[in-house]
Amino acid sequence: MKARTKLIWKQVIIAATISIGVFTVLYFSLDTLFDGWFDDQVRILMERYLYDNLNLKNELLILGAGSFALLTILVCAIVIIATDRRSRREIDRLLPSVRAIAEMDDSLIELPEEYKDVENQLNAIKNTAIKNERLAREAEQRKNDLVVYLAHDLKTPLTSVVGYLTLLRDEPDISPEMRQKYTNISLEKALRLEALINEFFDITRFNLQNIALEKTQFDLVLMLQQIVDEFYPAFSQKGITCHISADDRLMIEADADKLSRVFDNLLKNALSYSEPYTNLAVSIHRQGGRAVVEVTNHCPQIPEHKLGSIFERFYRLDSARSANTGGSGLGLAIAKEITELHGGVISAESSPSLTVFRVELPL
């Protein structure tokens, strides 16, 4: 209120200064005009009918100009006060809309038609604030999830490592064969622990940071053939036969290192859930302006209501699997993050005997 009063006084002072300037200019202008013939006529009339004082002209001019100045000041003050009141009313009309920004609900701000631009700007600000708050909540939830699952999934292999190493330390009479067995188990658990930690770090990077892609031109068919070759020992151990159907070449511009993680994780998932002694198919083809990769394996049908969740962080299709025997539940989530970073789409379809994972990438 004090600031508003100061503003009014400032406007009045400015108006008064302008009025005085106008008065001064008007005074000297009139004095010049009255200095000729018109001046003589006025003086004669004044002497004949009204007054004897020849200086009356100047007094009347001063009185008239002063009255004009005062009238100007009064008019300016009235205009300023009226404008200020109108501004206050408009501000009062806008205040509820400004408060609505802080309420973070889905309602739109509505203003009179003459303030349509302001309405659009306020709604844009509100939508941005809502989006930022949602992203902040999601980021915080992701961090909380990481803490919870780190504590849960790392506990089992870590406990095993500590247990076997303690046994080796406290039992000096263990036979060399058993000592070798416990050492191998400890190493296996430690490697499993390392893999889990690496996956946690990966999902943290892809979820909580802006990852820059280092794109290059490469042959997608050749890359997938190399990845599949790396899985042949694991496929053979489970009796799985893998077939690749693809064009001779399919050049794509992408981050080869990150994209290889996508297909590596898809093949790991297929290996984990495929029935023993079944076929696994990898298809690579061009569809319009996109490269399409499909990984098809024989496994129990994924329920429809679970298909939308398999790409979520820490989700395991089989809840009985632990971090010790199954994955961390991050592989498909990492694949989804990388695919979307490339502007692509990853999806899954499941029938009673087949499950197909489909990755679409822009060329």
Query: Counting every residue, how long is the chain?
Result: 363
In the numeric block, the tokens 């005009």 are attached to 33
Q: Return the amino acid letter for 276.
A: P
Lowest model confidence (mean pLDDT) among 11-15, 261-265, 272-276, 336-340: 11-15
Lowest model confidence (mean pLDDT) among 10-24, 117-131, 136-150, 263-277: 10-24
151 pLDDT band (50/70/90 cuts)?
low
212 pLDDT band (50/70/90 cuts)?
confident
Rounded-to-integer distance, Cα 190 and Cα 182, Å? 12
Residue partners of 77: CB distance under 8 A and separation at least 6: 12, 15
**Two tokens, residue 88:** 């206050």
In the numeric block, the tokens 């990853």 are attached to 346
The whole-number pLDDT of residue 320 equals 43
pLDDT at 232 over 60: yes
Highest mean pLDDT among 31-35, 94-98, 170-174 belongs to 170-174
Considering the chain, what is the average pLDDT of its residues?
75
Whole-model pTM above 0.75?
A: no
329 pLDDT band (50/70/90 cuts)?
low
Q: Return the higher-pLDDT residue of 236 and 325.
A: 236
Report DSSP state, residue 330.
Answer: -
pLDDT at 294 over 80: yes
Lowest model confidence (mean pLDDT) among 33-42, 108-117, 244-253, 329-338: 33-42
pLDDT at 182 over 50: yes
The whole-number pLDDT of residue 357 equals 94
Q: What angle is formed at CA 255 by the lines to CA 251 and CA 260, rounded to 5 degrees?
A: 85
The whole-number pLDDT of residue 301 equals 84
**Domains of the chain, earliest start first:** 2-103 (no CATH), 154-208 (1.10.287), 216-362 (3.30.565.10)
**Two tokens, residue 141:** 């939830």
